[in-house]
């Protein structure tokens, strides 16, 4: 193969890839695998879905505080939101995309003023990102399905994991057990 043929072949591959991207076919990078759950907390199985991005809709549908927290990585003031100290049985879903995130069975009172859990409902439903805001290193927790900022995870939690998933109340939608 001569150089011109090789370059033409590369150009063709690049154009085909670009056309495929504009055609709306999600690439592997736009796909995520999560565990789906019923509102009763029963695992329904793993599914691979396209990442959810509805920024214009979220801006209209979410409260200004919920939008700031989930889409702009904000934090609600401690003890400021109703439900931070909720203890009834149920499931906590992402306020943006409805992905199941935490089960009330792993919730505990950390005394921080935010809902705290010692583990997510399924590890694949949340993702951790190193956060270096404010001159310190923390681990940010995001929803895998829509990339909503949920809060942070710390290593000062109770057994069995020793973790404290410190979440923003406005990032979660509580669904009572049916």
Which residue has better confidence, 11 or 32? 32
Q: What is the pLDDT of residue 18?
A: 40
80 located within any domain: yes
64 located within any domain: yes
We report the CATH number of the domain holding residue 123 as: 2.170.150.20
Q: Is residue 133 very low, low, confident or very high in pLDDT (cuts 50, 70, 90)?
A: confident
The count of domains in the chain is 1
130 located within any domain: yes
Give the global pTM.
0.82
Active site residue 166: yes
148 located within any domain: yes
What are the pLDDT digits (tens) for 93-128?
A: 999 999 999 999 999 999 999 999 999 999 999 999
Hey, how many other C-beta atoms are within 10 angstroms of the C-beta on 108?
14
Question: What residues make up the domain containing 128?
Answer: 52-176
Q: What is the pLDDT of residue 9?
A: 42
């Amino acid at each position: 193969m001569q150089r011109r043929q090789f370059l033409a072949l590369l150009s063709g591959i690049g154009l085909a890839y670009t056309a495929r991207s504009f055609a709306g076919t999600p690439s592997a990078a736009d796909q995520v695998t999560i565990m789906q759950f019923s509102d009763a907390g029963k695992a329904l199985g793993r599914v691979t879905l396209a990442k959810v991005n509805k920024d214009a809709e979220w801006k209209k549908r979410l409260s200004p505080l919920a939008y700031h927290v989930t889409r702009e990585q904000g934090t609600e003031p401690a003890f400021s939101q109703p439900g931070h100290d909720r203890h009834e049985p149920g499931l906590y879903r992402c306020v943006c995309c409805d992905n199941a995130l935490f089960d009330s069975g792993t919730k505990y009172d950390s005394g921080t003023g935010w809902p705290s859990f010692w583990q997510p409902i399924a590890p694949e439903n949340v993702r951790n990102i190193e956060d270096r805001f404010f001159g310190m290193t923390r681990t940010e927790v995001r929803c895998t399905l829509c990339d909503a900022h949920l809060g942070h995870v710390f290593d000062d939690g109770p057994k069995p994991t020793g973790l404290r998933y410190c979440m923003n109340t406005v990032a979660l939608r509580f669904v009572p057990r049916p």
